[in-house]
Structures are given as C-alpha cells and as structure tokens.
Amino acid sequence: MTAAPSTLADIPGLIRVENTSPEQLAAHCAEMTREAYPHQQVYGRYCTIEEYVDCPPAQVYDYLRQGHHLEEWTCSLRGFAPAQTPGLWVGRDLLEENTSIYCKVVASPDAMTVDYHCAWDQGEQLWMIYLMRVVPAQLVLDKPGSLITWTNCRHPYYEANPYPDRAPRPGRRWVGEYWDLFYAGHTLEMRNLKAILEHRHGSGRPVSVLPSTAVTQ
Amino acid sequence: MTAAPSTLADIPGLIRVENTSPEQLAAHCAEMTREAYPHQQVYGRYCTIEEYVDCPPAQVYDYLRQGHHLEEWTCSLRGFAPAQTPGLWVGRDLLEENTSIYCKVVASPDAMTVDYHCAWDQGEQLWMIYLMRVVPAQLVLDKPGSLITWTNCRHPYYEANPYPDRAPRPGRRWVGEYWDLFYAGHTLEMRNLKAILEHRHGSGRPVSVLPSTAVTQ
C-alpha cells in the first residue's frame, strides 16, 4: 500500500495566500525585484533567450528540425554530413581548428520543440543540448509569426572535458571556456536565425534549403 | 513555380565565421556581455525562469499536466472546478477580490511541455499563457531529477484589459499591473513547486493529489 500524498501543511517553506496576504506577497516580490541582475545570476547556470520572428510557426519549426540549417544560422557550425549511427550527423565547429561536432535532432511536432543533442569530439555521449521551441506568436503576443525560445543548461562537462583523449590536439580550447559568452553568442545566432527566416518569408521564398551534402551528391 | 530560397549572401547583417573571424566573434561577444543587465532587458518582454527539482521527470510532468495542482503551488489560484466548455476550468485568483481565472491545460507527453492557457474574468480568449517544460536532468545536468523551464510573454492585453466590462467591479486592479513582479512572483511559485515535489518524492509518496472538487463530490 502506498503512503498518501503529504498535505501542504507538512511541507515547510511554502508561500501561499493562506499564510501570506496579497499585500505581503507584493511586498516580498518588490524586494526580490531589482534594477539590475548580475550576469551570473541570470546566465550562470542556465542560458535562455527568446526572440520574435515574423515567419509562420510551421515554417520556423520545419526549418529548425532540419539540423543542417545549423550551418546557416550558427556562427561556426559547418559541413554536416551523416555519421555512422543513424540520425547522427557530424560537422565541424570552426571556433577551434580541427574540432568535430556531433549532433542529433530530437523534435516533437506536437509541441514544436526542437532539441539539438550535441558534443565536441565524440558522438557517443551527446551532452551539449540546445533546447528550442517554436510558439505561435498569435497566442502569446497577439500577432502573426513565431516566438522562439532557446535554453542551454550548464552541464558539468562544460567545466572539464570528459574525453580529453578525443581532442584533436593537447591544449585545444574547451567549449566550456565559452560558457560565459553563451548569452551573447546565442543572441547573435538568434539574430542570424531571425534575419534568414524573415528575409526568405518576407520575399515569398521557401525558408528551408537542401543540405549541402545532398546538393553535392 | 516557387522562387528558390535566397542564398545567405543576399541577407544583410548575418554574423558568421565567413565574414567574422573567431577572434572578432569572441571580442564582439565580450562587448555584449555585462556585469549586470537591467530588469527591463531581461524580464521586460519575456519572463523565463528555470529550476532543478529532485523528482523524476515523468512524475513532474504528470503533476503539472493536471491543472488542479495549480491550487497547491501557485500563491493565489484556488478553487478550480470544470467550466461549461469541455477542458476549461474556472477558479479564483485571490490576489484580487471576486476575480475569476479560467484555465485550459495543453500538454504534450512527447516533449513534456505543459502550457496553461488562462485569462481573468472570461474564458473565451485565453491569452495569459504559461509555457512550461520538463526536461530530464540526467540529459542536461548529469544528475537524476528534472529541469523545469517556465516562460511567460508580455501579451499586449497585459497593458490594458480587453474586456473591462467583465471585471467584477470598476477599478479592480488589472493583472498586467503585476507584470514587473512576475520574475519575483514566479520564482516564489517555482520554489513552492520544487518544495512540494521534492517533499513528496523524497518521502516516497505519490506527488499528485486528487482535485478538491473530486474529493468533495
């Protein structure tokens, strides 16, 4: 027999109208609200950015779920081709010389989530995960187009390369050294993504392109 | 015949390794990175918070997708009961006297997204949307448990009540007046959610409870 769920009275620390008046709640919230927040507090452990794009959600989702488009909107990921494992692609991260990046796309059409499961140097453990989602802007912003959200989490491997023997050379800079620049870097990349989608959609063209590997085959 | 997609060369403003060296990119990103960011820049248009919860993702998702649990972890939403439209619930927001809140849950088990489509005073247009998602922490943080993300978007109706005649009385404070406190308020509520889930999971109890309406029926 399973124990019954605990009642809320058993759980310490809850802040609810039953123990905190609306006025106390507002005062507490006002105290937590600041003019500004330190970088580490906002982007230290998680890095989320949001962007509105004037392009229909179905097209944005379709563009994102095709991983080879990373070659267009990211600053430095290029040359993706299928790896040996089905669904796995391998390309290069031109931020660092001779650095491979492996990537698998996990997308859900229902919620329009698109997750890029990536790693430098090896494809067995894909721990760098870009969580993205497309939301109809009509619902959340009362206008046509799409909202894109993008979250990264500071996986412990950012602190230390778990597979140092797979690096192309000793002393190659590790991806985790860039963590503190992710807010800025992802903002640049999100702007690329917005510019590409809006340019193509705005000129009545299809937003997706064929993979370069398909074109050259 | 459809026009071909534009090539990237046609799209102004892109920042990519082809026109910006990795050194220039890093310098550009360093410029955009600040010691601190103003409240309006981070939480002015969108409000996203993230939290780790030591409770398995399937249980967290199952708890969130049952909307009556909002009565437990939110500060002020109470007394949900089915409204006339199937799938729509109506409760009260005790932040303001005699204020009804309508809510419909749209959940996707595949991506573990749970969206609460809500509105004060009326249930025909559900424009206050809480976008939540549960992600296995094993994938993104290398430990058991769940990451929860929660995004709200500043819909234009926050600025002005679109249905003033549905308010319970003239001069009732409007939900949008609280927008600037959402970061703080949602942080409190996320802490409630974490406390409830961790307390029940940690003591080996089921995390979900029956709706109070089901109990009293």
Give the tens place of pLDDT for each residue, A125-152: 999 999 999 999 999 999 999 999 999 9
Q: Which residue of A has its CA nearest to B194?
A: A14
ipTM of the complex: 0.95
A50-101 pLDDT, tens per residue?
A: 999 999 999 999 999 999 999 999 999 999 999 999 999 999 999 999 999 9
Q: What are phi and psi of A9, to 5 degrees?
A: -65, -25
Answer yes or no: is A85 within a domain: yes
**Does the pLDDT of residue B217 top 50, yes or no?**
no
Determine the residue type at A39: H
Give the distance from CA A11 to its chain's centroid: 34
Q: Which residues share a beta bridge with A89?
A: A82, A103
Mean pLDDT for all residues in chain B: 95
Q: Positive or negative, the Cα torsion across A4, A10, A12, A17?
A: positive
Pick from B32, B187, B207: CB nearest A187 = B32
Three-state SS at A204: coil
Q: How confident is the model at residue A3 (pLDDT cuts 50, 70, 90)?
A: low
The answer to whether B9 faces chain A, any CB pair under 8 Å, is no
Q: Which residue of B has its CA nearest to A155?
A: B141
Contact yes or no for A28 and B206 at CB 8 A: no
**Does the pLDDT of residue A215 top 60, yes or no?**
no
In this structure, are residues B201 and B55 in contact, taking their beta carbons and an 8 Å threshold? yes
Task: Say how many C-beta atoms besides its own lie within 10 A of residue B209's C-beta.
Answer: 22
**What total of structural domains would you count in chain A?**
1
Contact yes or no for B46 and A42 at CB 8 A: no
pLDDT-above-70 percentage for chain A: 95
Contact yes or no for A45 and B42 at CB 8 A: no
Answer yes or no: is A23 within a domain: no
Taking residues B147-153, report their average pLDDT: 98
Task: Say how many C-beta atoms besides its own lie within 10 A of residue A21's C-beta.
Answer: 11
Phi-psi label, residue B75: left if phi above 0, alpha if psi -120 to 50, beta otherwise: alpha
In this structure, are residues A194 and A53 in contact, taking their beta carbons and an 8 Å threshold? yes
Contact yes or no for B8 and A37 at CB 8 A: no
Q: Which residues of B touch A30 (CB under 8 A)?
A: 181, 184
Residues B119 and B161: their CA atoms lie apart, in Å, by 10
In this structure, are residues B93 and B121 in contact, taking their beta carbons and an 8 Å threshold? no
Residues B16 and A71: their CA atoms lie apart, in Å, by 10
Residues A163 and A121: their CA atoms lie apart, in Å, by 8
A34-60 pLDDT, tens per residue?
A: 999 999 999 999 999 999 999 999 999
**Does the pLDDT of residue B174 top 70, yes or no?**
yes
Rounded to a whole number of angstroms, the distance between the first and last alpha carbons of chain B is 62
Answer yes or no: is B24 within a domain: no
Give the pLDDT confidence score for residue A216 in this predicted structure. 41
Q: How confident is the model at residue B104 (pLDDT cuts 50, 70, 90)?
A: very high
Q: Which residues of B touch A176 (CB under 8 A)?
A: none
Pick from A6, A17, A142: CB nearest B203 = A6
Answer yes or no: is B217 within a domain: no
**Does the pLDDT of residue B214 top 60, yes or no?**
no
A141-197 pLDDT, tens per residue?
A: 999 999 999 999 999 999 999 999 999 999 999 999 999 999 999 999 999 999 999
**Does the pLDDT of residue B216 top 50, yes or no?**
no
* pLDDT greater at residue B17 or residue A1: B17
Angle in degrees, 0-180, between the axes of helices B22-32 and A182-202, rounded to the nearest 10: 100
CATH code of the domain covering residue A196: 3.30.530.20
Q: Which residues of A touch B133 (CB under 8 A)?
A: 111, 113, 131, 133
In this structure, are residues B145 and B155 in contact, taking their beta carbons and an 8 Å threshold? no
Q: How far is CA A181 from CA A11, A184, B26, B32, B209, in A?
A: 39, 5, 8, 9, 43
B43 burial (CB, 10 Å; 0-12 / 13-18 / 19+) is buried
Q: How far is CA A60 from CA A87, A130, A162, B20, in A?
A: 21, 16, 34, 26
Give the pLDDT confidence score for residue B6 in this predicted structure. 76
Q: Positive or negative, the Cα torsion across A63, A68, A71, A76?
A: positive
Answer yes or no: is B163 within a domain: yes
pTM across the whole model: 0.96
Give the pLDDT confidence score for residue A213 in this predicted structure. 64
Pick from A12, A129, A192: CB nearest B16 = A192
Which residue range is the domain that position B173 belongs to?
39-202
Q: Positive or negative, the Cα torsion across B159, B160, B166, B171?
A: positive
Answer yes or no: is B216 within a domain: no
Answer yes or no: is B125 within a domain: yes
Residues A133 and B50: their CA atoms lie apart, in Å, by 15
The answer to whether A169 faces chain B, any CB pair under 8 Å, is no
pLDDT-above-70 percentage for chain B: 95
Residues A121 and A99: their CA atoms lie apart, in Å, by 6
CA angle A64, A74, A85 (to 5 degrees): 65
If contacts are CB pairs under 8 Å, which of residues 58-97 in chain A contact chain B? 72, 74-76, 78, 94-96
Residues B56 and A32: their CA atoms lie apart, in Å, by 29
Taking residues B82-104, report their average pLDDT: 96
Answer yes or no: is A15 within a domain: no
**Does the pLDDT of residue B3 top 80, yes or no?**
no
Determine the residue type at B169: R
Residues A70 and A62: their CA atoms lie apart, in Å, by 13
Give the pLDDT confidence score for residue A43 in this predicted structure. 98
Q: How confident is the model at residue A212 (pLDDT cuts 50, 70, 90)?
A: confident
